[in-house]
A and B are shown apart, each in its own frame.
Chain A
């Protein structure tokens, strides 16, 4: 089973700043990686798939990069609605598909 590890656990930033979230896979997942945003009481929302492809309707301030075992989600010019929990997910090797433990992005 591929283990996904995200860092940091919590990131405290102010609106307008840039957020950089990391995700590491225990073995290569090539570019088969997705990112999700989850707000309290809501289901996760797909942001990025294929490591760098934005999902439909996702603003351009969200970008993904990386391949193999190291991945990054960057959010430029943070907006108030961006403060949430973010999860990475690998779908290269299954079963099972696996998720990271999440990064909480909070307002500083």
Chain B
């Protein structure tokens, strides 16, 4: 099973961007997909998109289209999620997960992104 370690908490101003990283270890990076799921305070989990690292191909939820980009660096087994044009409603815990478009076996520890002026 893969272990996923995410970057630390971030504070951003409205209108800015954030880039969260997720480093994988313990399995062949080419063998699985990685998704990003976020959870705003008191809200349900929300799938943002996924990437197939060995193809570099990503799919996104429509509500995030144009604002999010998920990339992968195969040389370091790291996946990145950039979210742009941040607003207060983007304040949430962001998780990377192994699985992509099915169930999610392994989860990172989460990265809290706070958007505040």
Contact = CB atoms under 8 A, between A and B. Distances in A.
Contact of A87 (B45, B62, B101, B102): B45
Given A95-B47, A97-B101, A56 B1 contact: yes
Given A95-B59, A96-B62, A87 B44 contact: yes
- Interface SS of chain A: helix, strand, loop or mixed? loop
B44 A101 contact: yes
Contact of A102 (B44, B59, B101): B44
B47 A44 contact: no
A36 B95 CA distance: 14
Given A99-B44, A100-B44, A43 B59 contact: no
Given A34-B103, A91-B101, A97 B35 contact: yes
A46 B49 contact: no
A94 to B, nearest CB: 5
B47 A97 contact: yes
A91 B103 contact: yes
A55 interface: yes
B61 interface: yes
A89 interface: yes
A34 B44 contact: no
Contacts of B1: 56
Contacts of A94: 47, 59, 101
8 contacts: A43-B108, A46-B104, A87-B45, A89-B104, A94-B59, A95-B61, A95-B101, A100-B44
Interface of A: 32, 34, 36, 43-46, 49-50, 55-56, 87, 89, 91, 94-102
Given A44-B104, A96-B47, 11 more contacts: A32-B102, A34-B102, A43-B107, A44-B107, A50-B103, A91-B103, A95-B61, A95-B101, A99-B47, A101-B44, A102-B44
